[in-house]
Structure 1
Amino acid sequence: MQLNESEHLLAAFAHFFPGASTVGSYVGGQLVAGDGETVQLHGAASGRPSLAYRDAGAGVVEQAARAAAAAQKQWWALTHAARGRIVFAVGQQIRDHLEPLAQLEAISAGKPIRDCRGEVAKVAEMFEYYAGWCDKFYGDVIPVPTTHLNYTRREPIGTVLQVTPWNAPIFTCGWQVAPAIAMGNAVLLKPSELTPFTSLAVAALAEKAGVPAGLINVLAGYGHTVGQAAIDNPAVKKVVFVGSPATGRKIAEAAARRLLPCVLELGGKSANIVFEDADLKRACLGAQAAIFSSAGQSCVAGSRLLVQRSVYERFVDMLAGGAARIKVGAPLDDATEVGPISNKKQYEHVISMIAEGVKAGAKLATPAQEAGEGFFVRPTVLAHATNEMDVARTEIFGPVVVAIPFDTEEDAVRMANDSDFGLAGAVWTNDIARGHRVASQVNAGTFWINGYKTINVASPFGGYNQSGYGRSSGVEALHEYTQTKSVWVETAAAPAAAFGYV
């Protein structure tokens, strides 16, 4: 008998939590049922209601905060090398469960299984990379002009709240959790209420690897309930958020009331620039990967395609022709290259933005969308657009690229920077001097020359402008998850008394 969507999701979840009849939060090593309002999920491929579960509620958040504080003391008491061995073992656990994790991610998030397998492997790599840093990230000795020995210590922050999005649940889980625990912190992870499943699984696997119960707690529920309660909890000392600018502002405001530092990664409207001297076939393939992979549900998606006017028509025709050949289909089909939009709200936003772009004067270079079952959007090219159109300024977060012509290098740089965002960008050219020149002038935290969407845990990642602040990944993430203590030791045999009497 074929399982319905709810049963299919629970069956995949049961690989990590045998006997689980619904979703809960993972607190202190246990799956804990919530007592808040109902969260109703929908299958992305069908659009029909799927599993429902209860929001964690404030009581579960308090329980998680206590568990985190206790586990963090135990974790920080280990030697750096011992922590490193355990963090590395987390990566091995993820590799050992790659296929079940990929299946669970595909079912719950609507992502193509081929993409999920790659992302799970990258999550394993994240833990392995930061495991190597555990005993290599140390302080300094400062040559102060006194008789003191002055040295610095890099110490953990304590308990960190991490809020991750629905578009890449397991990837952003590993992206944040790995450096946080490597530096000795505990974590309250609040994934999107729509996609908590693989984050819960990672927490359980981490404990199998030797991480203390309670070090990684996953809170299943809404941001306005669970997220707000976590920000308000005294145990939380820092907030890390990946998501939209609107929600990021709310989180920053809530954190500011407690003077909590934040790291915010808030999406983008990245410019992908193609010059007439570029290898146009390579650039076309790169442009497709930049916007159509992951159904465009990527913060670094190359959603603004700036093409030099002399090759504009030719390039747009090539791009539209390639888009028509991309396989759109069910997440668990190995042949699927583009899956559905993850949820109904986002699907409706994408469809409305396409219609708005056409109304504003952009031309559909690809066939119009056809209504059907599920939240599917075919790869879409909006041609003859201008940089002033809303579709060129608003993050669509779907497989929709806005193609805009430009004339000169100065025009391209000006248009690329004429945006509230600044997360990523790229340039395609055979003039390497121009490539470096443009890379230095475009305001973006990540920039590619003759490529797109290459991201690695060893490289820092974050945005300019409204794309947020702070850095995830690379060595810079370790600074975000530690605080510096300056220690002064008097070394003089008979130090001069600066003040006082005996």
Structure 2
Amino acid sequence: MSAPTRSDAAARVADLLADLLPGGRIGSVVAGEVLAGTGDALALVNPADGGVLAHFADAGPSVVEAAMAAAREGQRAWGAMSAAARGRAMWAVAALVRRHAEALAELETLSAGKPIRDTRGEVAKVAEMFEYYAGWCDKLHGEVIPVPTSHLNYTRHEPYGTVVQITPWNAPIFTAGWQIAPAICAGNAVVLKPSELTPLTSLALGVLCAKAEGMPRGLVSVLAGAGPTTGAAAVAHADTRLVVFVGSAEAGAQIAAAAARNIVPSVLELGGKSANIVFADADLGRALLGAQAAIFGGAGQSCVAGSRLLVHRSVHADFVARLAHAAGRIPVGAPTNPATQIGPINNRRQRDKIAGMVEAAAAAGARIAAGGACPDALRETGGFYYGPTIVDGVGPEADIAREEVFGPVLTVLPFDDEDEAVALANATPYGLAGGVWTGDIGRGHRVAAAVRAGTFWVNGYKTINVASPFGGFGRSGFGRSSGREALMAYTQTKSVWVETAAHPAVAFGYVG
């Protein structure tokens, strides 16, 4: 797949939308139909060249109202179906995703700037998510509790109702599937608001959910609009019963506060500043590859990115030198090229933030061991490229060592012993992920237990699966978005008491 020109990319996006969205029009997907927005015009920009791919109108309150009405009807129909029938319907969604996999992957690559080698895998994982939770539909049940009375006491896991989900621009279709599948498995309706920068594949997924055999058409709606307008209207709507947000800690705090004003709970999957720890006894070749994948995969635009590399002082200098040499060989370029491993940053604002943080670190005395700019060969493309960058010689208190960069920027810190490594790993308010490389398996378990993080890898990094719980500690959020734990997050537990005694004791009152 060659790199398209500006006009070619816009034309190809239009062709893909003609196949994936009714009428090929960009708008909110409500009950399987595309509704035009009523608000300001928004532009979709190609990260690979800075050109405009398309325009659409912000959905606005009236479209949000239509989505909420459709959700009420969709959830009512969904609840009337047997659990087995709901499982078959979810499996049908997965089949449609697999049928349209190449088109979805290409659309994600063109509109989000993610390399095609990545988007093909992510679309496959979306299908896997629906298949996994399809199997849970008829297995989500409560338990009988042996209470010390004459009652039968049992629990039921019941859906909240309408769940509003707000997802980010860094992995649009993957995050949409990651959230929608457990929510509807648990019996909820979903109103999803993807980032206004990357709504297209989420809209296409909403259409496939409506088309799948057995799926009520209003069960999943997808809003095309901006956060402060459309997103805020959805969060504040009287029908919203749970809010799920994936994104930055700052935005998450605002959304959780808005939900709390309506006494609505929230699940937050926020940022991270994850530590990737390398001990001298590790297989350093494997650790070298793992460190690259941990931070440079997805151009570092990943909440679990191993953005803080902690290296034992005895191997620090050699490891950084080898890593810098390797970083210079990673293919950076057009996301449509199958050989590309690092594509552009998703948007100009984020690219400029990354560059500013690296420049500030260098001005404060840090050594830029690799990268630190757009690769020379890509400067004339107009795209938002930034080369894989290694920042050495900073202290743990430096901003770039504490705050999330969300780009292909690795900060390296040396340590002298296990206690110091753990202390450095925990010297952050975030707690999303982390990893350790060591030949001592006992040490691996000790460090995994001591580091405050929701996901931790030993002699590996960035492996996730829908069957395993995912979420953060501290500033990285709360709640879980996969595995069985996600079903618990999407349900409320009801306790039911049934009197079974033939002549129950009367504790109060009189029988007239």
RMSD: 1.2
Task: Calculate the TM-score normalised by the size of structure 2.
Answer: 0.96
SS of the residue 2:93 aligns to: helix
Measured in 2, the distance between the counterparts of 1:118 and 1:135 equals 28
SS at match of 1:195: coil
Please, which of 475, 486, 497 is the counterpart of residue 484 of structure 2? 475
| C-alpha distance 311-63 of structure 1, shift in aligned 2 (>3 A) | same
**Counterpart of 1:152 in 2: which secondary structure?**
strand
Instruction: Kindly report which structure 2 residues correspond to 1:354-369, keeping only aligned pairs within 5 A, or say none.
Output: 354-369=358-373
In the alignment, the residues of structure 1 paired with residue 208 and residue 34 of structure 2 have an alpha-carbon distance, to the nearest angstrom, of 13
Residue aligning to 1:5: 9
Residue 127 (structure 2) pairs with residue 160 (structure 1): no
SS at match of 2:95: helix
2:404 counterpart of 1:395: yes
**1:102 paired residue number:** 105
Alpha-carbon contact 2:39-2:59 (below 8 Å) kept = yes
Query: Equivalences for 1:123-162 in 2 at 5 Å?
Result: 123-162=126-165
Q: State whether structure 2 residue 205 is matched by structure 1 residue 196.
A: no
Shift of 1:361: 1.5
Partners in 1 of 2:292 and 2:19 — Cα distance? 35
Residue aligning to 1:280 = 284
Distance 1:475 1:30 in 2: 32
Match for residue 314 of structure 2?
A: 310
Q: CA deviation at 1:177?
A: 0.2
Aligned to 1:205: 208
**1:68 and 1:215 in contact (8 A); partners too:** yes
Q: Distance in 1 between matches of 2:477 and 2:239?
A: 24
TM-score (norm 1): 0.98
The question of whether the paired residues in 2 share the 8 Å contact of 1:5 and 1:51 is answered with no
In 2: Cα distance, 1:310 partner to 1:401 partner: 19
For residues 39-188 of structure 1, the aligned pairs below 5 Å read: 39-188=42-191
* Correspondent of 1:262 among 261, 266, 277: 266
Deviates more, 1:361-370 or 1:123-132: 361-370
Work out whether residues 437 and 444 of structure 2, in 8 Å CA contact, stay in contact via their aligned partners in 1.
yes
Give how far 1:312 is off: 0.4
Gaps of 5+ in 2: none
For residues 374-408 of structure 1, the C-alpha deviation after alignment (integer angstroms, 9 at most, x for no partner) is 10011111112221110011110000100111111
Which of 466, 471, 483 is the aligned partner of 1:462? 471
Q: Match for residue 434 of structure 1?
A: 443
Deviation at 1:8, TM superposition (A): 2.5
How far did residue 496 of structure 1 move?
2.0
Q: Is the aligned partner of 1:242 residue 2:246?
A: yes
Moved more, 280-289 or 42-51: 42-51
- Equivalent pair of 1:288/1:323 in contact (CA under 8 Å): yes
* Number of residue-to-residue matches in the alignment: 501
For 1:274 and 1:410, the matched residues in 2 are separated by: 13
Match of 1:15 among 19, 27, 47: 19
CA distance in structure 1 between the aligned counterparts of 2:174 and 2:364, rounded to whole angstroms: 36
Q: Whole-Å Cα distance in 1 between the matches of residues 174 and 22 of structure 2?
A: 24
Q: Which residue of 1 aligns with 2:275?
A: 271
Equivalent-residue separation in structure 2 for 1:347 and 1:250 (angstroms): 24
Which amino acid letter does the alignment assign opposite residue 164 of structure 2?
L
Is the alpha carbon distance of 1:349 and 1:368 closer, same or farther for their aligned partners in structure 2, counting shifts above 3 Å? closer
Question: Which amino acid is the alignment partner of residue 401 of structure 2?
Answer: A
Asked if the contact 2:244/2:267 (under 8 Å) is kept, the reply is yes
SS state of the match for residue 137, structure 1? coil
Deviation, structure 1 residue 353? 1.0
Corresponding residue of 1:289: 293
CA–CA separation in structure 1 for the residues paired with 2:362 and 2:178? 37
Alignment match of 1:374 (pick from 368, 378, 383): 383
Residue in structure 2 matched with residue 329 of structure 1 by the alignment: 333
> 1:48 offset after TM fit, Å?
2.4
In structure 2, C-alpha distance between the alignment counterparts of 1:281 and 1:360, rounded to whole Å: 31
Is the CA contact (8 Å cut-off) linking 1:382 and 1:400 kept in structure 2?
yes
User: In structure 1, what is the Cα distance between the partners aligned to 2:50 and 2:358?
Assistant: 20
Alignment of 1:406-445 (within 5 A): 406-445=415-454
How far residue 19 of structure 1 moved from its aligned partner, in angstroms, is 3.1
Letter in 1 for 2:482: S
1:97 is displaced (CA, Å) by: 1.1
Identical-pair percentage: 59
| Equivalence for 2:394 | 385
- 2-side partners of 1:260 and 1:361: how far apart? 46
**What does residue 29 of structure 1 align with?**
32
Cα-to-partner distance string for 1:152-191 (whole Å, 9 max, x where unaligned): 1111111000000000001100100000111111000000
| Further displaced range: 353-362 or 54-63 | 353-362
- Structure 1 residues 240 and 368: CA distance shift in structure 2, 3 A: closer
Closer, same or farther in 2 for the Cα pair 1:311/1:339, shift >3 Å? Answer: same
Residue 7 of structure 1 deviates from its aligned partner by 2.6
- 2:186 and 2:325 map into 1 onto residues whose CA distance is 48
SS in 1 for 2:23: coil
Q: CA deviation at 1:481?
A: 0.8
Distance, in Å, in 1 between the alignment partners of 2:417 and 2:491 is: 45
Which of 207, 231, 247 is the equivalent residue of 1:227? 231
CA distance in 1, matches of 2:419, 2:407: 29
In structure 2, distance between residues paired with 1:288 and 1:100: 29
Amino acid at match of 1:278: A
Q: CA deviation at 1:367?
A: 4.1
Deviation at 1:431, TM superposition (A): 0.7
Q: SS where residue 192 of structure 1 aligns? A: coil
Deviations 1:76-95 (A, max 9, x none): 11111110111111111111
* CA–CA separation in structure 2 for the residues paired with 1:488 and 1:134: 25
With over 3 angstroms needed to count, the CA separation of the structure-2 counterparts of 1:488 and 1:97, relative to structure 1, is same
- List per-residue Cα deviations over 1:298-323 (Å, max 9, x = no partner): 00000000001100010001111111
Instruction: Name the amino acid aligned to 1:428.
Output: W
Unaligned runs of 5+ in 1: none
